[in-house]
Structure formats: structure tokens, C-alpha cells
């Protein structure tokens, strides 16, 4: 391919990635309005948010293996089409259960798209410096999508209902189909071996059981939950069986031998750990800005722009900085910086204000921008014929990290919110018949407080949610620091992922 063709193809791949990553956070803005209309339980609300990532993560490996055999461009076109159809289903949805199903369908389409964006960049760019630049753009767009999701959602909700958060996908994916048809090259793997159907079922079942069990542990704030313990044990058994199956196969569904490469392993750990903290933080912050700080949907999106700008600038700067000080220092240092931002939210004394949030999230965005180096380490640590596997593993790390982050930090936050709200409401003598349903979520609490004309309930809910946000910040920040330390220790000294 010519240089112009390579960068044109990269533009299409990153643009489609933008839509997928926007879809992970655009719902953060629409969630309060949706919750007020559909009245989901706290468990349903968590499923609405994270079922997309769960299904996407569960199918990444399978769809990537199919694309290696059938054609990555064909899989992209199918994924774009599936995304359009799934988004249109919101027009007939009128319950929380139906929204959960639609988000699951979107996850199926997203799984067809995401790993191909990485594997095709790996195949298109043979020059290491060009590839590092392309991957830094990919990482920047990924960060922009996650942060611009709330902005786009805010603009849409100023003029339309929450349904627009889904319908915006239709024209964007339509443009992706047209551009992709003309600009993307076809790419397949010669002699990839047979597709392991049983292994695909194992990976999906194992991940679903794993996330469900973690949800239940978080919901009950205890490990003494028989159903969750059984599901967790089953998940470990199924995923262990899947691992052994892959290691023994001559043509595994997932090439786990890639983890023998230490920079590859460090990149995967960085992707998993950072997404765990960041996506959950963005979800909680979007709700805090709207329902506690009083920002409108569009104001919330605007207030989160600095996160996207910081992440984009850091992503572009990461490769040249890596060439100066080494990939290990840039990646590990970025993760610790992001962790410091989350800890700043959690450990700030007194009232939490937007300037506090702004300073913290700029640190988080700048730190997460170092994931451009993680992508270069992952893709550079895999041969071309395993690009699909490497892309699937990286994307699975992002998606699984998002699911577990929302599950664990979201569940912890919900538990702290419920307990603190009950304590505050009891001190004010508010009736339990009002407080109990208000404890399901911040959106429900504010809606009930408005209908029952109980400003004391609204102020108590705001205080309780701020407390829960700070607890999540401490947990997420500490985890990021630990991940950064682990990445530094695992990455060999002198590793250079961006020549």
C-alpha cells in the first residue's frame, strides 16, 4: 500500500473505533433520564452499563478467529451493519430489560469491529516508527471516544430524548460502511487451522460466570454468597479448561503463548488495570456532575473535555518520549500518574468541587495516554500472523477491565451510597418507605426527592454519593499505582516499543 492509502485506512479504522468507544460512555449522560423513565433497579442499572462490555469482551476472541479465516474487512462491514440494526431497536424498547438486551446486541457488533482495528494496523504498517505513530493515534482516538461520549450525549439530550444516545450510531456507522468499502484492504491469515467452536463457547461462558459472580459479591458486600461462590468456581474451572485447551492445540482459538513475551504481558496488564479504574470513574463522575454538581447534560460533557484533551496529547507524545526515556518508564509512570489523579479525588479533605475533579481527571487523562506505548508493546510483541490474536487479547483486556471496574467499583460505590444515605436519612427522620427505594441509585433518589418534595432527601443523597465517589477513587487509584509498579517490574529494562 502507498503511504497515502495506509493513512487513509487508518483514518477509517480509528473513526469506527471512535464510535465503539463513545458507546461505552455516552450512556453515562443518558442514564439519569433513562433511570427516571424506566425505573431500573441498581442491579439493572449496572447491567445496562456493563452488558455491552461483557458481551464484547466475551466474543472478541471468537470473532477475531473468524475474521482471520473469512477476512477482516468483511468482518468489519458485518460489524458496522450489525451495529446499525441493534441501535435501531431502541425505537421499540420500553423497559430496562429490553435496553439490557439491546446493549448486549451492540456488544456483539462491537466485538466484530474492535479487534480488526488493531490487527489491520499491525498488518498495514511494517515500519516500526510508522506503526508506533498509528497506534498512538489509535490510543488517542480510544481515549477521545471514552471522554467525548458524555459530550455527544449531552448535546443530544439537550434536544432529544435518551433514545438519541443509541440512534446516533446509525449515521456514523453508515458512513463507516461507505468509507471502509473503498479504503480498507482485505486481510486474512493463510492456513489458520480450524475454528474451535467448543473453545469459543468456553471463553464466553467462563467470562459471563466470572463477571456475574463478582457482581453478586459486590452487591452483598460479602463473599458468603453461595450462588456467587458456585458461579465463581465454575468460571475458574471453565476458563482454566479453556486455557489448557488453547495451550495444547496446534491451532488454538487464542494464542496464549504470546504471554511468554514480557513486554506483551506488561502491555496487557496495563490495558486491563487502567481501564478497570478509568471507565468506572467516568461513569461515577458523569452522574456526580449532573445530579450533585447540577450541570446539564451538555455542561457535563463539556466539563469532561479536558480528560479527552489530556489523553489525546499524552497519546501522541508517548512514542517520541519513549524513544528518549524508554518504554518502561513512560508506561509505568503514566499509570502511576493516573492513579495519583484518582487518589486525589478520594483523599481530598472537605467538600469535593469541580476544580478538584478537573485537576484529578487531567492527571488521569494524561496518565492513561501512555497506553499508546502499551499498544505498541502488545502489537510489536506478536508476529504478523498472530495480529488478530494480539488485537483480540488487547481489546479483551480493555473490555474486561471496563466490565470488572464498573462491576467492582460500581458495586462498592452503590453499597457505600446506600448505607450512607440510610444513615443520613435516619438522622433526619425521613420515612423508610421513601428512603429504601431512593437507595437504589442516585438518579432514583433525586427523582423521588423531587416528586415527594423532600429537599433533605436530595441533599442527603448528594452527600452520600460524594462519599461513595471518594471511596471508589481511593480503591481505583491504589490499583492503578499497583499496576504501574507491576508493569515496571515485568517490562525488561531497555525495552523500546517505538523506534
Residue 350, Cβ density class (10 Å: 0-12 exposed, 13-18 middle, ≥19 buried):
exposed
Q: CA–CA separation, 499 vs 493, rounded Å?
A: 15
> What value, to the nearest 5°, has the Cα angle with vertex 213 and ends 21 and 442?
60
Helices (H) and strands (E) in the chain, counts: 19, 0
Q: Is 126 helix (H, G, I), strand (E, B) or coil?
A: coil
CB 165 within 8 A of CB 298: no
Give the position of cell 505498541. 376
Helices assigned H by DSSP within 71-95 = 72-88
Q: Which residues, including other chains, have CB under 8 Å from residue 399's CB and lie 6 or more apart? A: 53, 54, 56, 57, 60, 114, 275
Distance CA 404, CA 472 (A): 13
Give the global pTM.
Answer: 0.79
CA atoms of 407 and 43, how far apart (whole Å) = 10
Local structure of residue 250 (DSSP, 8 states)? S
- Count Cβ atoms below 10 Å from residue 241 Cβ, excluding itself: 14
**Alpha-carbon distances of 115 from 60, 72, 120, rounded to whole Å:** 7, 9, 9
Tell me how crowded residue 277 is: count the other CB atoms within 10 A of its CB: 30
- State the distance between the two ends of the chain, measured CA to CA, in whole angstroms: 21
Handedness of CA 472, 303, 166, 391 (dihedral sign): negative
Which residues are CB-contacts of 436 (< 8 A; sequence separation ≥ 6)? Answer: none
Contact (Cβ atoms closer than 8 angstroms) between residue 312 and residue 369: yes
CA–CA dist 497, 131 (Å, integer): 10
Task: For the beta carbon of residue 230, count every other beta carbon within 10 angstroms.
Answer: 12
Answer whether 170's CB lies under 8 Å from 23's CB: no
Dmax over CA atoms of the chain, in Å, equals: 72
pLDDT tens track, the chain, 499 positions: 678 888 888 888 888 888 877 776 677 677 778 888 888 887 787 778 778 777 877 788 788 888 888 888 899 999 999 889 889 998 888 888 888 899 889 888 988 888 888 888 878 887 777 877 888 787 777 767 766 777 777 777 778 888 888 888 899 889 889 988 888 888 777 776 677 888 888 888 887 787 778 767 756 656 677 888 999 899 999 999 999 998 888 778 778 888 888 888 998 998 888 887 777 777 788 788 888 888 876 777 778 778 778 888 888 888 888 888 888 888 999 999 989 998 998 888 777 888 888 888 888 888 877 888 888 888 776 777 777 777 778 877 877 777 777 777 877 888 888 888 877 777 767 666 677 777 777 777 887 777 777 788 888 888 888 888 888 889 889 988 999 999 999 998 877 765 5
Amino acid at each position: 500500500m502507498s503511504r497515502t492509502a495506509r493513512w487513509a485506512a487508518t483514518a477509517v479504522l480509528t473513526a469506527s473505533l471512535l464510535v465503539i468507544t463513545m458507546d461505552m460512555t455516552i450512556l453515562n449522560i443518558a442514564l439519569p433520564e433513562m433511570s427516571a423513565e424506566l425505573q431500573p433497579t441498581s442491579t439493572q442499572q449496572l447491567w445496562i452499563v456493563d452488558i455491552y462490555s461483557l458481551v464484547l469482551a466475551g466474543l472478541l476472541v471468537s470473532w477475531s478467529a473468524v475474521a482471520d479465516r473469512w477476512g477482516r474487512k468483511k468482518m468489519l462491514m458485518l460489524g458496522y451493519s450489525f451495529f446499525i440494526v441493534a441501535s435501531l431497536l431502541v425505537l421499540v424498547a420500553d423497559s430496562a430489560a429490553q435496553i439490557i438486551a439491546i446493549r448486549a446486541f451492540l456488544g456483539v457488533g462491537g466485538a466484530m469491529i474492535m479487534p480488526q482495528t488493531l490487527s489491520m494496523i499491525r498488518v498495514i504498517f511494517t515500519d516500526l516508527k510508522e506503526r508506533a505513530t498509528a497506534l498512538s493515534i489509535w490510543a488517542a482516538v480510544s481515549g477521545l471516544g471514552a471522554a467525548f461520549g458524555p459530550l455527544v450525549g449531552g448535546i443530544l439530550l439537550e434536544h432529544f430524548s435518551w433514545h438519541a444516545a443509541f440512534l446516533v450510531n446509525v449515521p456514523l456507522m453508515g458512513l463507516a460502511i461507505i468509507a471502509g468499502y473503498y479504503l480498507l484492504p482485505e486481510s486474512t491469515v493463510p492456513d489458520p487451522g480450524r475454528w474451535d467452536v467448543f473453545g469459543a463457547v468456553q471463553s464466553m461462558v467462563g467470562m459471563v460466570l466470572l463477571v456475574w459472580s463478582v457482581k453478586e459479591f459486590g452487591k452483598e458486600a460479602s463473599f458468603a454468597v453461595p450462588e456467587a461462590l458456585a458461579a465463581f468456581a465454575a468460571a475458574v474451572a471453565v476458563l482454566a479448561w479453556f486455557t489448557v485447551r488453547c495451550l495444547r492445540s496446534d491451532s488454538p482459538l487464542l494464542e496464549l503463548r504470546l504471554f511468554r513475551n514480557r513486554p506483551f504481558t506488561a502491555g496487557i496488564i496495563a490495558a486491563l488495570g487502567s481501564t478497570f479504574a478509568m471507565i468506572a470513574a467516568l461513569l461515577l463522575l458523569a452522574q456526580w456532575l449532573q445530579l450533585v454538581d447540577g450541570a446539564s447534560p451538555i455542561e457535563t460533557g463539556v466539563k469532561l473535555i479536558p480528560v479527552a484533551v489530556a489523553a489525546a496529547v499524552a497519546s501522541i507524545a508517548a512514542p517520541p518520549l519513549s524513544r528518549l526515556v524508554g518504554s518502561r518508564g513512560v508506561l509505568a509512570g503514566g499509570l502511576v500518574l493516573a492513579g495519583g489523579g484518582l487518589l486525589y479525588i478520594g483523599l481530598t479533605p472537605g467538600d469535593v468541587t469541580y476544580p478538584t475533579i478537573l485537576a484529578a481527571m487531567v492527571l488521569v487523562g494524561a496518565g492513561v495516554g501512555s497506553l499508546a506505548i502499551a499498544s505498541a508493546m502488545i502489537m510489536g510483541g506478536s508476529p504478523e500472523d498472530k495480529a488478530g490474536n494480539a488485537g483480540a487479547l488487547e481489546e479483551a483486556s480493555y473490555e474486561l477491565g471496563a466490565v470488572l471496574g464498573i462491576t467492582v467499583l460500581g458495586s462498592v460505590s452503590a453499597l457505600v451510597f446506600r448505607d450512607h444515605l440510610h444513615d443520613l436519612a435516619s438522622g433526619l427522620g425521613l420515612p423508610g418507605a421513601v428512603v429504601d427505594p431512593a437507595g437504589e441509585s442516585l438518579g432514583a433518589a433525586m427523582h423521588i426527592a423531587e416528586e415527594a418534595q423532600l429537599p433533605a432527601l436530595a441533599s442527603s443523597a448528594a452527600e452520600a454519593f460524594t462519599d461513595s465517589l471518594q471511596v471508589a477513587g481511593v480503591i481505583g487509584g491504589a490499583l492503578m499505582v499497583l499496576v504501574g509498579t507491576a508493569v515496571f517490574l515485568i517490562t525488561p529494562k531497555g525495552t523500546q516499543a517505538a523506534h
